[in-house]
Chain A
Amino acid sequence: MAVLTAAGRRTSRGGRKRATRVPPVVLAFVLVPLLAEGFWVFWPALQGFYLSLTKWDGISPPQFIGLGNYREMIHDTVFHTAILDTVLWLALFGGLSAVLGLGAALLLQQERRGVGFYRAALFLPVVFSLTATALVWQAMYQPDGLINKTLSGVGLGSLTHPWLADQDTALYAVIVPALWRQIGYVMVLYLAGLKGIDPALYEAAKVDGASKWQQLRHITLPQLRSVNAVVLSVIIIDSLRSFDVVWALTRGGPYHSSELLSTYMYSTAFQSLRLGYGSALAVVIFVLAFGVIASYLVRAFKEAD
């Protein structure tokens, strides 16, 4: 609230009066982008909620059926699989990318010879599209691909596998490329966080005779708390949005074994043309994401002031 306005009005005018003196062009600066976002995001989002209460094939007018779509979900076994897979995805993809990203950042935080190369190697996949990432890994997973070849080569031929075609392994096989791409991103966030820690804290700890492990536990981790919050939000939002890599690798198959809520929503809406039910699935994704969005916004709210 202490922001000085352009006109430099520091006289004791009332807050209301000051607010009315914002030049019209400045108001337009806010309104035009807001309208663009309102048109393409907020208005469609409201429609999305309404459509979730309808039965709609996309051609004839939507038919209002109240909570019918949600009632159907209760008995929809594919939906159950998709929910379970999404939770599994959150736990595995989210958990591992946070832990491994932090590990990579701790390993590579110090400026020493060669560290730039290692960082770049881990970071490079971040710039690939998930579609390209998926195809790269599809080649690795082929029956005669490098993974099976390596397994046979080291005498573990019994483990070779049609990784993406097997219901038991498809989901995990899809998580690996997603992780391969995400870990470098999380590492960058943690590297910046680590750089922000005051070195004097470590000096003091060393004087007190703290071991490396104690320093990690009592200085590094607590100091990273704000980064943790961001990483967690990013990961949860990313997990619920995850679509490209699954769609490119398995399209949710075989037999829905790698189906996430997002892929199920897409195929229901745009392939089965059940737009009402698809909207209801999207609302479920929204509700799951909402808690994260809300806590992220609360944090942003504090910072914005």
Chain B
Amino acid sequence: MSVTHAAAPAAEQGADTRPAPPRTTRGRRRVWGTVAFHTSAGLISALWLVPIAVVLITATRSFDDIAGHGLGSAPHSFTLGGFRQAWVDGGQQQALINSLLVSVPTVLVSLLLASMAAFALSRYDVPLRRVLLLLMLSGNLLPPQILLIPVSKLSEHLGIYDSLYALIGVQVGFGVGFYVFVLHGFMRAIPPEIQQAAVIDGAGPWQIYTRIILPLARPALAALTALAFTWIFNDLLWAITVLRSDTKMPITASLLGLQGQYVSQWNVIAAGSVIAAAPTVLVFLRFQRHFVAGLNLGAVK
């Protein structure tokens, strides 16, 4: 029902905010449409926000409160003790540092490499450039499961098993194909005249890349940065494949450790989840526009 109302063209929507009470049947229908819209959208949003609210509340309750009144009851206490326990005793501080130590270099290196490849493939007649582009994309589309065992053995052979370098290496290799594909599409749209002018002025490929194409590709790079950061930060599978020591685990894996260590101490587990989600939520809030644009970059043209 409400779907059809929402589909009404934008021209009619102005009437909703007009102060005069609508008298006609059309006007009344519009009011009902607005009410129906806000009721349905509000209910859905509440459904989506309740689990988040529950976790925030649980994280600030004391263990005795949860044990005494039950996990699903209203809070009878307020404490930040759960956060301290997760942060210090649960090792979440180290885990958060590990996550950042992996995510930041991975994003920088993979976007640097990807932008170079995308520049070359989109601006020059590199032989077989279409085949190369799709080969790189296909690497990212492979199910990671086929790579897990060989990659863990490969990092053992290189002597970097159980080190953050292994995680950075595989994250860069696995992600780069998708970023090349997206950046290629973006850079291809830059008019060739800009580049020709630079060539006439005597600029070489390196100068064209750093001074012209990279600055022009900034919107796409910003979007991919926001997106890649959340993907890498949120990864669990690669981390538990190439890492072993608890002290090296990123925050996702550490959260699972917390779950095992603090069974039924829901205030600590909830606090841990909040800590693990905070950085990506911050990135999202700060770069919301870029983030959403990034999701659409590779998908919708």
Which residues of A are in contact with B by a Cβ distance under 8 Å? 3-8, 15, 18-19, 22-23, 25-27, 29-30, 32-34, 36-37, 39-45, 47-49, 51, 58, 103-104, 106-115, 117-118, 121-125, 127-132, 135-140, 142, 144-150, 180, 184-185, 188-189, 192-193, 196, 199, 202-203, 206, 212-213, 215-216, 220, 226-227, 230-231, 234, 237, 240-241, 243-244, 247-248, 261-262, 265-266, 269-270, 275, 278-279, 281-283, 285-286, 289, 293, 296-297, 300-301, 303-305
Contacts and interface: CB of A to CB of B under 8 A. Distances in A.
Contacts of A244: 236-237, 252
Contact of A26 (B17, B120, B143, B200): B120
Contacts of B85: none
Interface string B235-256: 1110011000000000111011
Nearest to B121: A30
Interface in B1-53: 2-4, 6-10, 13, 16-17, 34, 37-38, 40-42, 44-45, 48-52
Contact of B72 (A5, A43, A129, A146): A146
A6 to B, nearest CB: 6
Interface in B196-246: 196, 199-200, 204-206, 208-209, 230, 233-237, 240-241
Contacts of B136: 33-34, 37
A132 B230 CA distance: 13
B72 A149 contact: yes
Which of A123, A243, A300 has the largest number of chain B CB atoms within 10 A?
A300
Nearest to A23: B205
Given A129-B276, A132-B277, A248-B259, 15 more contacts: A6-B123, A7-B199, A26-B120, A32-B117, A33-B180, A45-B139, A48-B147, A132-B273, A135-B272, A136-B54, A142-B266, A241-B144, A286-B145, A297-B141, A303-B301
B119 interface: yes
Nearest to B66: A144
Contact of A48 (B45, B121, B150): B150
Dominant SS among interface residues on chain B: helix
B274 to A, nearest CB: 8
Interface residues of B, number: 121
Nearest to A234: B299
B296 interface: yes
B96 interface: no
Given A127-B280, A128-B280, A129-B234, A33 B272 contact: no
A39 B45 contact: no
A127 B124 contact: no
A304 B42 contact: no
A106 B71 contact: no
B188 interface: yes
8 contacts: A41-B142, A43-B154, A110-B13, A111-B13, A127-B277, A132-B276, A148-B72, A269-B149
Contact of B41 (A108, A185, A301): A108
A107 to B, nearest CB: 5
Nearest to A123: B292
Interface in B137-166: 137-139, 141-154
Given A33-B180, A293-B142, A247 B45 contact: no
Contacts of B133: 304
Contact of B70 (A107, A144, A196, A220): A144
